[in-house]
Chain A
Amino acid sequence: MTAAPLAAAGTPMVRRFRRRASPGAVGLALAAPTLCIFAGLVAIPVASVVVTSFTSWTGFDISGIGWLGIENYAGLLTDPIFLKAFANTLIFTVATTVLLNAVGLGLALLVNTRAHGTAFLKAVLFLPVLLSPVIVGLMWSGLLRGVGGGLNQLLGFLGLIHQPVFWLGDGRFALAAVIIATVWQFAGYDMILYYAGLQNVPDTLLEAAELDGARAWEKFLHVVLPALYHVMSVVALLNVIGGLRIFDIVYVMTRGGPSRSTEVLATYMYEQGFQLNAMGVASALAVVLIVLAIGASALRLRVLRHV
């Protein structure tokens, strides 16, 4: 052995023989904060709404709790307001999901042409995504107000109406107004997702289709669309889950009115829990919401497996 400059130099490394903690324990310790916070503020509340949904609790005296079994659920089934809220939630969810998917995909295709002006459109479309639904609701309330509202002014100017229409105060229009406001807010979000999906369409496939003499729409149908199935399933699921839990925008624009025409499950739950103190009923409604949301994601997984 000739010169061994490093071996000879300085202090050798101190060797300490600490017993090591088992790797499993270290892993658990690192995951523990997440697991504890999640358990405490999500898992336990989920368990507790399930339990509360079988009781008559009013939110005050614990001793006054009575066990009702499935009575709260049975009560919901004969409650016309619940049925209305359930129907509205379904209409809202289906309408926003269909519209957002169509609008989102269409806008993504437009933006993806990279024609002049599309970059600006892309940025503009994303602005509403950044807004709180409270502010979105407020904007649309302003636009749809009966007196001084922008839409009435436009329609009046065009000579289409002669009396102000109270869009949000009219049971025929209120739900549609909330749906349009929601589509306006999230169209840019879905556009971005579809746009990201379009970037992943394999060029080689398109070139192959081109060589095979495929027409533009054939390429879209047979190459582009299949490549977007995954994105489509994500967008659909997000829209469905978002639709089921819708609360803020309805609460701000209509509070569920007029005469329950925009009542949805979450607003009805809020009313039962915080205005009527019927915690048992509110919890039963919460369980319905949770079951629907989990059901939707399970359904997506099933469908994806078959694609």
Chain B
Amino acid sequence: MGSITLKGVGKVYAGNTVAVNNVDLEVKDGEFVVFVGPSGCGKSTLLRMIAGLETITSGEITIDGQVMNDVSPRDRDIAMVFQSYALYPQMTVRENIAFALELRKFSRDEIKRRVDEAARILDLSELMDRKPRQLSGGQRQRVAMGRAIVRNPAAFLLDEPLSNLDAKLRVQLRAELGRLHARLGVTTIHVTHDQVEAMTLGSRVAVFSRGTLQQYDTPHALYHAPANIFVAGFIGSPAMNFLEASVVGGGASLTLALGPTRLTVVPRSGGKELSVGDRVIVGVRPEHLDWQPAGGSGLPARVELVEHLEPESFIAVTPADRSVVIRTADDFIRGAAIDPAEEIRLEERMLAVRVPASRVPPPKTEISLVIDAARVQLFDSATGAAI
């Protein structure tokens, strides 16, 4: 059992730095939830607040309906895996795993049974008498997991558990984490800055930026219906392209002007009403862009860089018409207005296009960029919220 509910949870440090801002979020029993966001977005702080390692300045955290705000970490019945693994250096693997059970006065037999079971699940049986310093990074990570699972806690809190591993091991242990969760079914909150980890592991993903929960949804929804320009830009690699456009024709479908090019899109029903003359941000993912030889009906553009990969390559292009403004999610973090000093940098911004490796255009050539109008997403040009 382990459902976790956050109601209006916030943390303000002395000096009025807001680390976590009014977060509402529910983790269902048995769910695997990922907190993701750039470093400093408050995701780790929030996790540590759930663990009881950080105080809460506002709101309420409940585990299985019990308010936890003033319960000490050791009484919350949650286990945590730290980025550094935090294994006790003077204890063997066995002692590390057994430590929590020993403190809770479990019988000797019960401790042995649980520790052996955990060792078997995590394939640690050969290493039980080693000290942490004799283990590789991946082995340490598994010991840290073992220390968490023997306790059979209400929830696992994993704080960047894979980020100290090299890329290959990370992918392998990521899969192991998923299998482990499927097997044990224990409620898990996993914090990471890696959106791939978030998308592959989470049944739901909470995206944070600057201490605020931006969107909390399934990976599919995050990708296809991002709540705002930040989420749209954060999920997916390379990031979604954003272009400023103006509305030139209304009705059931809108006609948008992107420089000389016209784009007809059907806005989501129930969204904000747009009328002729409004500015809007058009978001389009690299895979929803394609190209034709120059002179086609698309947006005239120039190929600046080609990144050869198989089976799909990426090209970076700049619109030929300099009145087409490329935006980034960062513009909206700083506020919608573009700093005039940024003008030059603005010129250098490029659009990413994903194309099959077999039809990469030659670099430094003019092309015509085709936008898949059915797949674009529209965002408010002032707030960055999805329309």
Contacts and interface: CB of A to CB of B under 8 A. Distances in A.
Query: Is any CB of A less than 8 Å from a CB of B in the complex?
Result: yes
A283 B277 CA distance: 88
Contacts, number: 58
A17 B66 contact: yes
B70 A7 contact: no
B184 A6 contact: yes
Interface stretch (B147-155, B207-215, B251-259): B147-155
Interface in B49-66: 52, 55, 66
Interface string B181-195: 011111000000000
Given A12-B152, A13-B104, A2 B182 contact: yes
B372 interface: no
Contact of B113 (A1, A9, A21): A9
A15 B114 contact: no
Contact of A1 (B121, B149, B185): B185
Contacts of B30: 1
Contact of A15 (B52, B77, B110, B121): B77
B75 interface: yes
Contacts of B114: 6, 9-10
B275 interface: no
Contacts of B72: 18, 20-21
Contacts of B149: 6
A5 interface: yes
A18 B185 CA distance: 27
B37 to A, nearest CB: 27
A31 interface: no
A17 B183 contact: no
Contacts of A19: 70-71
The SS class assigned to the A binding surface is loop
B125 to A, nearest CB: 15
Interface residues of A, number: 20
A13 B151 contact: yes
A4 interface: yes
Given A9-B113, A10-B110, A16 B152 contact: no
Nearest to B79: A13
Nearest to B149: A6
B290 interface: no
A19 B74 CA distance: 11
Contacts of A17: 66, 71, 75
A3 interface: yes
A15 B149 CA distance: 16
A4 B187 CA distance: 13
A24 to B, nearest CB: 10
A16 B153 CA distance: 13
Nearest to B76: A15
Q: Report which residue of A9, A13, A21 has the largest number of chain B beta carbons within 10 angstroms of its beta carbon.
A: A13
Interface string A5-40: 111011011111111110100000000000000000
Given A9-B113, A17-B75, A4 B151 contact: no
A103 B263 CA distance: 87
Contacts of A12: 152
30 contacts: A1-B30, A1-B183, A1-B185, A2-B182, A4-B183, A4-B184, A5-B117, A6-B118, A6-B150, A6-B184, A7-B152, A7-B184, A9-B117, A9-B152, A12-B152, A13-B77, A13-B104, A13-B152, A15-B75, A15-B154, A16-B75, A17-B66, A17-B75, A18-B71, A18-B72, A18-B75, A20-B52, A20-B70, A20-B71, A20-B75
Interface of A: 1-7, 9-10, 12-21, 23
